[in-house]
Structure 1
């Protein structure tokens, strides 16, 4: 690799080990074996290099869900509900396996209001991120995802992804499962948020939240 590639790889390592804001130009030089002048020559500034490292780290993480799965059980390709749950289970496992990556991504959220250049850089790749997530969940190439699906469904996945990343850092032992997310969506869409899973199965709670016999649906204590 040349200095440009060495610098980027060094910046990505620093991002995981030290975080976005705490990484200095000298840290990147030490991690890459390059020199200070080469940062300016190849990237213009340390900040530009770190923004590139942040985006590429996220892209590489996402590619881990589209390539070979290293012996892991394949995601079901038939029923969309099963695929949704299984894909989220795989993503949630990756959060627990890679807390350094999750922390590096979550850290920048607090920096965005005061760093317009960082905000602009992420805004530029956000649509691609939504497109990539739709492709992962639908198990199709990015080229098959239309702009409207990327905008609507991709934004939904990104919202869930960001929230679950934060949860994985705060309460890693209490993350919902993919099945929990499916159940949450079912309750919201059926208007039975307060009905327990058991009560709905036994009493046949409908969209109104009432059991089939007209009485109140069972609620979780």
Structure 2
């Protein structure tokens, strides 16, 4: 690996271990075995490097998520059983990727004071939503339509909500069965015909 790649690997390691706000340029340089000056040379600033590392680490978690969805799809022909298996598998990914989720939530809290971070995260929102819509449907990609964006937004909200609840109290975080039960209740209430 070259210095640029070493810096990225070191920044991702720091995000997992120290979080977004507590990671210093010196931390990244030490973790990567590269000089402090190399951060500015390759990325312009520590913040730009951390933002890129956060996005790349999230994409790597996306690969773990894809494995969960693919594995759950092979378990059963029953859509409800697959749904439960997917969300139970998602919950398990939080164990290995806890540091990443903590860093994401920490970064989001700081976003109003970090315009570069805001732009970086806003730039990947649409692609992330379309990616989730495709993933949860077992498709390589989906068209950029209002319907697919809505589907991806729903999955994104479920993921973030589950992650937040798991971070706060892992033993009380919802299971796949909890989500299925809630989805039935909510969709039933939303889809009820209006009283005459």
For normalisation by structure 1, the TM-score amounts to: 0.79
Q: Secondary structure at the match of 2:65?
A: coil
* Deviation of 1:98 (Å): 2.8
How far the C-alpha of 1:51 sits from its partner, in A, is 0.2
How far residue 73 of structure 1 moved from its aligned partner, in angstroms, is: 9.0
Q: 2:159 maps to what in 1?
A: 161
Deviations 1:26-74 (A, max 9, x none): 111100011111111111111100000000000000012335x6xx992
> Match for residue 33 of structure 1?
33
Distance 1:58 1:36, change over 3 A: same
Q: Answer whether contact 1:106 1:165 (CA < 8 A) is retained.
A: no
TM-score (norm 2): 0.88
| Partners of 1:62 and 1:132 within 8 A in 2 | no
1:171 Cα deviation (Å)? Answer: 1.0
Alignment of 1:104 with 2:103, yes or no, is yes
Paired residues for 1:80-99 under 5 Å = 80-99=79-98
Kindly indicate whether structure 1 or structure 2 has the higher relative contact order, using CA contacts under 8 Å at least 6 residues apart.
Answer: 2
Gaps (5+ residues) in structure 2? none
Work out whether 1:75 is the aligned partner of 2:72.
Answer: yes
* Whole-angstrom CA distance in 2 between matches of 1:46 and 1:6: 14
**Aligned-residue RMSD, C-alpha:** 2.3
Structure 2: distance between partners of 1:184 and 1:145: 29
Instruction: Measure the CA separation in 1 of the matches of 2:155 and 2:30.
Output: 37
Look up the match of 1:126. Answer: 125
Could you tell me whether the CA contact under 8 Å between 1:6 and 1:33 is conserved in 2?
A: yes
Number of residue pairs aligned between Structure 1 and Structure 2: 191
Larger Rg: 1
In structure 2, distance between residues paired with 1:133 and 1:156: 9
Asked if structure 1 preserves the Cα contact closer than 8 Å seen for 2:142 and 2:148, the reply is: no
Please state how far the C-alpha of 1:83 moved relative to its aligned partner: 2.7
Matches within 5 A, 1:27-66: 27-66=27-66
CA 1:134 to 1:79, structure 2 compared with 1: closer, same or farther past 3 Å?
Answer: farther
Question: Which is richer in helix?
Answer: 2
SS in 2 for 1:21: coil
**CA contact 2:39–2:46 (8 Å) conserved in 1:** yes
Residues in 2 aligned to 1:24 and 1:135: alpha-carbon distance in whole angstroms: 36
Counterpart selection for 1:180 from 178, 181, 184: 178
